[in-house]
Amino acid sequence: MFTLNKCFVHSCKNLSLSVFDETNGMTEERGYCLDHTPDPGRAKKSIYDYIKTHDVIVGLNAAGIMFRDIDLSNKRFYGCNFQHCTFTDLRSEGLRGKLCMFDFATFADCMLAGSTMQFTSFACCTFSHTIFTGSDMVQNNFNGVQAFQSSFDDSDLYNSRFIGARLVDTSLRNCNIKNTLFLECSCENVSMKMSNTREAVFDRKGSELFQGIAPKMRGGI
């Protein structure tokens, strides 16, 4: 996992961004968060360069960084922190991640088909025009997400959680949603056609989709 170094600014409770040495190697040294770094441009470039030059990335802390037009295809991230990051116009396939944190991140106009993201947290993320089609998204945390015109079609969402999520014009067709929790989930024009809805949990009484909130969720099917 990423180091839990606090920002150099004494009153700041944020974690330090990852620090790199002169050879572009990641160190465990303490540094500044994005808000307090003396040279934000240099801090961002160091993180961009590290990602571009490494296929396997372990323990990176890039909280708050904006990523645009960066190819993450077939990159592998383990134990990394992308909280509060912004991802825009990504066209990446085969992205892999495990035990990563994307809490409160924003994904806009991203194509991330064929991704493998496991044991990863997307809590309170915003997905806008984002495609995860054909992905392995097992045991992930999507609690509180807001998804607009996005797609998880043909994906494995086994044992994931969408508690308190808001899904609008979003598709989860032909997905494995066994043991997936949709408790208190607000849905508008959401399609789950050909998904195993009877094995998912939509209320605290059981797993029957076509009771209670079913009419709201089936709009557009």
Rounded Cα distance between 153 and 130, Å, is 11
The per-residue pLDDT for 159 is 97
What would the mean pLDDT of 155-163 be, rounded to a whole number? 97
> Is 60 exceeded by the pLDDT of residue 192?
yes
Residue among 190, 124, 210 at smallest CA distance from 162: 124
Instruction: Write out pLDDT tens, residues 29-73.
Output: 999 999 999 999 999 999 999 999 999 999 999 999 999 988 899
Q: Which amino acid is at 212?
A: G
Return the percentage of the chain with pLDDT > 90, whole number: 84
Backbone angles phi, psi at 15, to 5 degrees: -85, 150
Q: Could you read off the pLDDT of 102-143 as tens digits, one per residue?
A: 999 999 999 999 999 999 999 999 999 999 999 999 999 999
DSSP 140-172: -B-TT-EEES-B-TT-B-TT-B-TT-EEES-B-
Q: Which two tokens stand for residue 180?
A: 């997936």
- Say if residues 187 and 216 touch (Cβ distance below 8 Å): yes
Question: 56-75 burial, b if ≥16 CB within 10 A, otherwise e?
Answer: ebeebbbbbbebeebebeeb
In the chain, % of residues over pLDDT 70: 92
